[in-house]
Amino acid sequence: MASIETPTTTLRRPAGYIARLGEWAINTNLALGDMGVFFLSTLYWIFRWPGRRAISETFAQMYEMGTKSIPVVMIGGGFIGAVLAVETLPQFQEIGLASRVGSIIVISVVKQVGPILTAVMLAGRLGGAMTAELGTMRVTEQIDALRVMGADPIRTLVVPRVLACVIMTPILTLYSDAIGILGGWLVAVRVEGVRNYPFWHYAAQSTDLFTVNVGLIKAFFFGIVISTVACYKGFRCGNGAQGVGRACTEAFVTGFCLILLSNFILALGLNNLYNALYPNQPSVL
Amino acid sequence: MPDQSMQNSPPTPSPLIRFENVHKRFGSLVVLNGVSVAFAEGKTTVVLGPSGTGKSVLLKHIVGLLSPDSGSVYYRDMRIDHLKDRGMEPIRRKIGFLFQLSALFDSMTVGENVAFPMREHSGLSKSEIRDRVAERLAMVGMENTENKMPGELSGGQRKRVALARAIALNPELVLYDEPTTGLDPIRSDVINELILKLHEELKVSAIVVTHDMTSAFKVGDRLVMLMGGGIIADGTADELRAHSDPRVQRFIAGRADEEDLRALHRI
């Protein structure tokens, strides 16, 4: 008996792995498709005009997301700018270019660190809160109640959150950028003794409007990613407290991965756009 | 030759809700296995059955929160099981739904909760809505609670506010999903009295899903028992009490079956 069972077991293992891989691939594709339909439904309601109550709810969400996120975004941005100065200044001092440290701080903060750091902080602070709120509404049948009362839950709940997040993420990114540059300036100029004028002179010289827009365009897309993923995970969360908790974790992890992925795609796209617009200038990537 | 007496008898009114051979499964779990049942207009029908037998699933098919794997659901003579949210909207306006967990919106006051369906659909002015909200809250014995938040209310009060919201648009059918679950016997009886009062005052039809026999016998004109994916009993309270099926008698008496008891003793 044992001699018959042993080969069956060894044969099953790879088949099991392949089956699980196939199952994972199918489920991932289904989830991506489902999220795509969810996002398209949100777009449909945004362009169809979601109604006055949805718009007024958008302002409430903007206050909730924007005003209350300013401290965390500013603290994060300020320290990152300061750390950038601490890490890069010795290198610049070694080659006698300490006065140029302003340019590297501004470019790093405005184009990469500011938008990504703000997006990650918002994915944690706002994304988690959105998923938990909508997940709890789903578990307590409030989303079903909306549908039964003829109010589309996407129009009522998702559109205000997505609009508020899309508007507030670039604004918060600007705050983060400003405080990040200030943090770098504080360390470089006030602590390490780099002269004030060259710091700002080279910072301004290395930054044009396109560079600032790169950061803001990225922030705009990050806002879409954070809010769509968070709302989607809330709407599709499992039952009970465990289901809501798991949905929050998944929302952050998925949002974080999509932020990094979209950052890469946007960097490539914007770099190509820059090359097309300014053919004789060095790349912005 | 057609029977003369048949020709003279009034035509039987078509039922308000009709299920025809409805099947529904979740994964490998078969919940509804070819259910065919009709719910008459102007009556309160109670759907009974043990937990997990698909009573709430049955209700959710009526408002389009779930659709059958096969079979059909009719509202009057209109087939509704294939309708999307937008197509269901006119039907949903005629139906009030009291959810098991009340489903009041946490972020809104009691008044805003009751006003919600009116703001969405009625076209009434703000003052008219305010008056209607006060009237509906008074009907369920929750006067002057407009400014309270749902979190400040007890379970029974939440159910009553949810009921005020369910009847906000003068529905012709109210669906009650476990209206007395989680309430003490006295508060359960208050809800039962409310169901009877609303039936009397608003002349609404009702479908009540419950496993509370006291409530079922009190409010139901007709009782339907769902078990094992199908309907095993259908009749008045007296007919159910005299039913020959031992499963019906065991459910009415609230007695565990022998297999469950044997399993308990094996542990």
For range A5-21, the mean pLDDT: 61
pLDDT digits (tens, 9 = 90+) for B90-129: 999 999 999 998 999 998 999 999 999 998 887 788 999 9
Cβ distance of A150 and B117 shorter than 8 Å:
yes
Residue B80 shares a structural domain with residue B176: yes
Number of Cβ pairs closer than 8 Å across A and B?
47
Q: Which two three-digit tokens encode residue A186? A: 């504080």
Residue B45 shares a structural domain with residue B114: no
pLDDT of amino acid B2: 43
Q: Report the gap between the CA of B235 and the closest CA in chain A (Å).
A: 29
Residue B166 shares a structural domain with residue B177: no
d(Cα B117, Cα B105) in Å, to the nearest integer? 12
> Which member of B85, B103, B117 has the closest CB to residue A152?
B85
Sign (positive or negative) of CA dihedral B2, B8, B9, B13: positive
Domain-embedded: residue B195: no
| Chain B CA closest to residue A138 | B103
Q: Is the pLDDT score of A259 beyond 70?
A: yes
How does the average pLDDT of chain B come out, rounded? 88
Q: Among residues B145, B170, B195, which one ends one of the domains? A: B170
pLDDT of amino acid B12: 59
Residue B147 shares a structural domain with residue B18: no
Q: Is A239 helix (H, G, I), strand (E, B) or coil?
A: coil
Q: Is the pLDDT score of B1 beyond 60?
A: no
What are the residues of chain A with a beta carbon less than 8 Å away from any beta carbon of chain B?
Answer: 53, 136-137, 140-142, 144-145, 147-152
**How many other C-beta atoms lie within 10 A of the C-beta of residue B89?**
18
Cβ distance of A141 and B117 shorter than 8 Å:
no
> Which member of A136, A145, A151 has the closest CB to residue B99?
A145
Residue B209 shares a structural domain with residue B128: no
| Chain A CA closest to residue B63 | A148
Q: Which of B83, B105, B114 to mutate to test the interface with A (most CBs of A within 10 A)?
A: B105
Tell me which amino acid residue B254 is. G
d(Cα B114, Cα B104) in Å, to the nearest integer? 9
Cβ distance of A149 and B119 shorter than 8 Å:
no
Residue B87 shares a structural domain with residue B130: no
Domain-embedded: residue B20: yes
pLDDT digits (tens, 9 = 90+) for B212-261: 899 999 999 999 999 988 999 999 999 998 989 988 898 888 877 777 77
Q: Is the pLDDT score of A1 beyond 90?
A: no
pLDDT of amino acid B206: 94
Q: What are phi and psi of A29, to 5 degrees?
A: -65, -40
Domain-embedded: residue B198: no
Q: Is the pLDDT score of B4 beyond 70?
A: no
Residue B210 shares a structural domain with residue B86: yes
Q: Are A229 and A255 in contact (CB under 8 A)?
A: yes
Q: Is the pLDDT score of A14 beyond 60?
A: no
Chain A residues near residue B117 by CB distance under 8 angstroms:
149-150
Q: Residue B189, Cα to own-chain centre: how many angstroms? A: 17
Residue B75 shares a structural domain with residue B122: no
Q: Among residues B116, B145, B170, which one ends one of the domains? A: B170
Q: Among residues B148, B170, B192, which one ends one of the domains? A: B170
> Which member of B89, B95, B103 has the closest CB to residue A142?
B103
Question: In chain B, how many domains are there?
Answer: 2
Q: Is A36 helix (H, G, I), strand (E, B) or coil?
A: helix
Domain-embedded: residue B6: no
Cα angle B38, B41, B42 (rounded to 5 degrees) comes to 135
Domain-embedded: residue B258: yes
pLDDT digits (tens, 9 = 90+) for A61-100: 999 888 889 999 999 999 999 999 999 999 998 898 888 8
d(Cα B145, Cα B248) in Å, to the nearest integer? 42
Cβ distance of A150 and B100 shorter than 8 Å:
no
Domain-embedded: residue B161: yes
Residue B163 shares a structural domain with residue B177: no
Chain B residues near residue A140 by CB distance under 8 angstroms:
101, 103, 106
Q: Which two three-digit tokens encode residue B98? A: 């009291």
Q: Which two three-digit tokens encode residue B208? A: 């009540």
pLDDT of amino acid A285: 47
Q: Is the pLDDT score of A187 beyond 80?
A: yes
CATH number at residue B214: 3.40.50.300
Residue B77 shares a structural domain with residue B48: yes
Residue B70 shares a structural domain with residue B178: yes
Q: Is the pLDDT score of A10 beyond 50?
A: no
Site of tokens 């509404």: A137
Domain that holds residue B129: 103-170
pLDDT digits (tens, 9 = 90+) for B78-91: 999 999 888 898 99
Domain-embedded: residue B194: no
Residue B176 shares a structural domain with residue B166: no
Domain-embedded: residue B118: yes
pLDDT digits (tens, 9 = 90+) for A188-202: 999 988 899 999 999
Q: What are phi and psi of A27, to 5 degrees?
A: -65, -40
What ipTM was reported for this prediction? 0.85
